[in-house]
Chain A
Amino acid sequence: MSDFDVVVVGAGPAGSAAAIELARAGRSVCLLERGPSPGSKNMYGGVVYGRILDTLVPAWWEQVPVQRWVTRRSTMLIHDEQALTVDFRNPGWGAAPFNGATTFRPDFDAWLAGVAVDAGAVLVCSTTATGLIREGGRVVGVRTDRPDGDLRAPVVIACDGVNSFLAKEAGMYPHTGAENFTVGVKETIALPREVIDERFAVRGDEGVDIEILGCTGDVPGGGFVYTNATSVAVGLVLSLPALAAGPDRPEELLRRLKAHPAVAPLVEGGEVLEYSAHVIPEAGYRMMPELVGDGILVAGDAAAMCLAAGIWLEGVNFAIGSGAAAGRAATRALARGDASAAGLAAYREMLESGFVLADHRRLRDAPHLVMGDLAQRGLPAVACGVMEDLFTVRNPEPKQGVRRIVRNRMRRNGIRVRDAVREGLRAVRTFG
C-alpha cells in the first residue's frame, strides 16, 4: 500500500516546484522537510532569478517576498588593494517581469512551499528522511526519523540538496570528491535603508549584485556583495581542497574581503545579523549524478544543477526548472502506471530540451576555467595593472601604447602570451 503517489524529499526550490506540478495534476504528494520550516536550513548568496516562475506562478512578482529588485550588476576584479569594476545598470529590471530579486531563503522557500500546499501538497516539516525503502532494486518510499515514519510511494523525488544522501544511497552519485565542491560563507550585515541607497547609489526598492574575483588569497573562489532592504550580504565561495590545505580559515578570508578598500566603504559599520555557511556543487555538468532510476528522480542541487560559472551564480532557478520537470515526468509515469526508470525517462528529455541541461552542457568547462590560475590571479592582476598604467599620468614621460602596456603587465605577472591565448580561446568556446 502506498501512502502517497509521490514523496518529494526537501522543501527547497526544487522540491516545492516538483510538489506544485504534482499537486496541480491531482496527484497526492508529500513534501518532506527536515527543518522546522522550509528554508530554515538554506542559505545562498542572495539573488533569485524569477522568470522560471512565469508559468508556475503567474505574476509571481506580486507575491514573492522580495528585499530589493536588482537593477545594477557589477563584476569586480581585485588585485592587492586595487579593484577594476565593470558596472551595468538597467532600470528596466526594476519593473515587471523583473530579472533578479534579493530575498532571504527562509522567506522565499517558505513562500514557494506555501504555493505547493495551496495546490494540495502535504507539507511535513521537522522530519528527516533517513534512507530509501527498496523492493527488488526499485525505490518504493523513504524511511524517516518519525516513529512509524516509513512513507511509501511509487515515485520518490530526491530534492535533498547538495549532500543528497538519497541519490548516494541509490548508487546514482559517483562524483563525490572534494574537488567538485566549494563552500560559501556569508555575513548578513544590518544597515539603514538610506545608508544602503547612498552607498550603492540606488533608490526605492532597487538593488545591487556585485560578483568579485581575485579576493580569496591562495584559495580559488570568488566573493559577492548583495543589497537587501535594510542589510547587505557579503560572502565568499571557496574551493574545498585549497581551503583544507590551509592556512587561512574562511572567516579570515572574509575579514580580508570586508577590509578591502573597494569593499569596506560598502559594508562597514553595521552589526552582523547572521553568519551562515553552505556547500555548493561547483563542478556542475561534469559532476552530475544519474538523474533517473527505478522509482526515483533527482533534481536541483542534489543533481549538481547549480550553475557556478564566475559571473553567474544561479541555482534556485535551475532547482525550480528541474524540480518542475521532475514533477511533470512523475505525473506522466504515474498516469501510465510505469514508475520504472524507463517510465520516468521523460525527465531527462525535458531537461535536455530546456535551459537546465542546455546551459549546463554549454558551460561545462566554465567552473574549471573560473577556478583556474589565470582567471583567479592572472586576469585580476593584469587588468588592474593595465588600468594603473593607462590612467597614471607620468609626465614628463610620454604615454605608452595599450599593446605595450598589456604585454608588460603580462610579463610582470609571469603570463605567457601562448597560455593566455589558449585560455582565452577556451573561454570563447565556453562562454561564446
Chain B
Amino acid sequence: MSASSYPEISFEARMATVEFRIDEDRAHITVDDTICRDCSTRGCITACPANLFVPTAAGGILFNYEQCFECGTCYLVCNREGAITWTYPEGGHGVVFHRS
C-alpha cells in the first residue's frame, strides 16, 4: 500500500487526545505478573488498544491502569485464570469520550 502523504501521529500523541479522569487511589485493573511469566500466548500485548501491557525483560508484564478505555479486550483474550483482575473504575472516574 502506498505511503500516506501526511505524518502518522505517535502513540503518545494519539492517547493524549483522550480524556482520562484518573482515580489516584484505586487501580480498576490489576495484573498478576507471576501468572504472566508462564503465559505463552500473551494476547494482551497486541490486543489492548491502549497498549498498556508491556513485556518486561524478565518475561513478565508491566501494567498501568491509567490510560485505559475500559473496553474489556484484555480479560476476554487472557486465558489464564487470575492473571487479570478487572473491574470498572469508581463512578465518575476513568475514560471520558467527547467526540466518539
Question: Which residue numbers of A lie inside 8 Å of B, CB to CB?
Answer: 34-36, 39-44, 80-81, 104-106, 125-128, 130, 144-146, 162-163, 165, 176, 178, 181, 183, 185-188, 228, 231, 233, 240-241, 243-251, 255-256, 258-261, 264, 268-269, 272-279
Contacts and interface: CB of A to CB of B under 8 A. Distances in A.
Nearest to B28: A128
8 contacts: A34-B88, A36-B92, A104-B97, A105-B100, A233-B100, A259-B1, A259-B2, A275-B18
A249 B88 CA distance: 24
A40 B90 contact: no
A274 B88 CA distance: 21
Contacts of A183: 47, 49, 71, 73
A126 to B, nearest CB: 3
A122 to B, nearest CB: 15
A328 B35 CA distance: 47
Interface in B64-100: 69-73, 76-77, 87-92, 94-100
B41 interface: yes
A276 B100 contact: yes
Given A248-B46, A251-B14, A256-B1, A274 B76 contact: no
B9 interface: yes
B4 A264 contact: yes
Q: Which range holds the interface residue count of chain B?
A: 35 or more
B91 A144 contact: yes
A40 B91 CA distance: 12
A41 B97 contact: yes
Nearest to A128: B91
A81 B51 CA distance: 28
Contacts of B21: 36
B22 interface: no
Contacts of A240: 47, 73, 76-77
Given A146-B91, A251-B14, A264-B4, A176 B96 contact: no
A106 B98 CA distance: 6
Given A244-B43, A272-B14, A277 B91 contact: no
B29 interface: no
B15 interface: yes
A244 B3 contact: no
Contacts of B87: 130
Given A41-B94, A126-B92, A251-B14, A277 B69 contact: yes
A245 B43 contact: yes
Contact of A276 (B6, B18, B89): B18
Given A240-B76, A244-B77, 10 more contacts: A34-B88, A106-B98, A125-B92, A128-B91, A145-B90, A181-B76, A244-B43, A251-B11, A264-B2, A268-B4
A178 B76 contact: yes
Nearest to A162: B72
A303 B94 CA distance: 24
Nearest to A80: B1
A114 to B, nearest CB: 17
B5 interface: yes
Interface string B24-48: 0000000000000000010111110
A241 B98 CA distance: 29
B76 A36 contact: no
Contacts of B90: 128, 145
Contacts of A42: 97, 100
A125 B1 contact: no
B97 A269 contact: no
Nearest to A273: B99
A277 B46 contact: no
Given A41-B95, A246-B46, A275-B18, A268 B100 contact: no
A221 to B, nearest CB: 12
Nearest 3 Cβ contacts at the A-B interface: A244-B43, A126-B92, A43-B100
Contacts of B51: 249, 251
B68 to A, nearest CB: 10
Nearest to B76: A178
Contacts of A181: 72-73, 76
